C-alpha cells in the first residue's frame, strides 16, 4: 500500500475526531482501515485517548457552588435595582425639563406684565426670571441624574464569597 494512502488515512482519522468528514471520505477510510492494521490502531488509540478524557472528573463542593450562585443572584438583583432607579431618574429628569419649559412659557407673560407695572428694566426682570425660576427648575430636574454618582456607586463593592 502506498505511503500516501496511510498519510491520507491518518489525516482523515484526525479530521474525523474533530469534525464531520464527507461520506466519500468515510467510505474510503473504512475500506483502508479494514485492510491496514497500523492505521486501524492509530484510530483506536485516538478514540481511547478521547474516551480517557471523559474519565476525568473531580469532586465539586456544593457549598462553594451555592455561594457563587447566591453571590451572582444578589449582584444581579442589585444591578437590576440600580438600573431601574437610573431609568426612573432619567424619566424624572426629562419630565422635569419639559415642565420647566412649559412653566417658563406660561410664566413669561405674567412676569413681563408684573415687571412693566413695577417699571423694572427688561434686562433686570429677565435676569431675575432666569435666576429665580429657570435655573432652579433646571437644577432640580437634572439633580436625580447625578444622584447615584453623588451618593456613591456601590458596584464592585461586593467582596469575594468563594
Partner 1 sequence: MAFSRAPETESQSIARALRRRDSEFIGRLVSQYHYRLLRYLVYLTSKREQAEDLVQETWLRVLERAGQYNSRLHFEPWLFSIARNLAIDDLRRRQRANLSASDMLVLEAGLEFPAADLYSPFLAAAKSEDAVRIANAMGALEPIYREALLLRFQEELSLEEIAQVTGAPVSTISSRIQRGLSMLRSALEGEADAI
Q: Which residue among 3, 30, 37, 53 contacts partner 1 (CB under 8 A)? A: 53
Cβ 60 to partner 1 shortest distance, Å = 6
Span of 60-68, 91-99, 107-115, 119-127 interacting with partner 1 by CB under 8 A: 60-68
Q: Which residue among 30, 117, 149, 160 contacts partner 1 (CB under 8 A)? A: 160
DSSP 157: -
| Cell numbers for 129 | 426670571
Contact status: 157 vs partner 1 (CB under 8 A): no
Chain centre distance of CA 73: 15
Contact status: 122 vs partner 1 (CB under 8 A): no
Contact status: 3 vs partner 1 (CB under 8 A): no
If one counts every other C-beta atom within 10 angstroms of the C-beta of residue 21, the result is 17
Span of 44-52, 103-111, 122-130, 140-148 interacting with partner 1 by CB under 8 A: 44-52
Residue 138 and residue 97 in contact, taking contact as beta carbons nearer than 8 Å: yes
Contact status: 16 vs partner 1 (CB under 8 A): no
Q: Which of 60, 58, 57 is nearest to 69 (CA)?
A: 60
Alpha-carbon distance of 105 to 81, in angstroms, equals: 36
- CA quadruple 42, 43, 48, 54: dihedral, nearest 10: 130
| Residue number with CB closer to partner 1 (8 or 10) | 10
Alpha-carbon distance of 42 to 33, in angstroms, equals: 9
| Residue number with CB closer to partner 1 (18 or 151) | 18
Residues that bind partner 1 (CB under 8 A): 10, 14, 17-19, 38, 41-42, 45-46, 48-58, 60, 64-65, 68-77, 79-80, 83, 160-162
Amino acid at each position: 500500500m502506498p505511503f500516501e494512502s496511510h498519510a491520507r488515512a491518518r489525516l482523515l482519522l484526525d479530521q474525523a475526531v474533530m469534525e464531520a468528514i464527507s461520506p466519500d471520505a468515510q467510505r474510503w477510510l473504512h475500506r483502508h482501515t479494514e485492510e491496514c492494521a497500523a492505521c486501524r490502531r492509530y484510530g483506536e488509540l485516538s478514540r481511547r485517548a478521547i474516551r480517557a478524557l471523559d474519565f476525568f472528573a473531580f469532586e465539586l463542593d456544593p457549598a462553594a457552588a451555592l455561594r457563587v450562585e447566591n453571590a451572582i443572584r444578589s449582584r444581579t438583583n442589585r444591578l437590576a435595582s440600580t438600573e431601574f432607579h437610573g431609568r426612573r431618574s432619567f424619566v424624572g429628569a426629562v419630565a422635569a425639563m419639559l415642565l420647566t419649559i412649559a412653566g417658563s412659557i406660561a410664566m413669561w407673560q405674567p412676569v413681563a406684565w408684573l415687571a412693566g407695572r413695577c417699571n423694572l428694566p427688561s434686562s433686570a426682570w429677565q435676569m431675575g426670571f432666569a435666576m429665580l425660576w429657570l435655573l432652579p427648575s433646571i437644577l432640580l430636574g437634572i439633580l436625580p441624574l447625578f444622584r447615584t454618582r453623588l451618593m456613591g456607586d456601590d458596584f464592585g463593592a461586593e467582596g469575594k464569597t468563594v
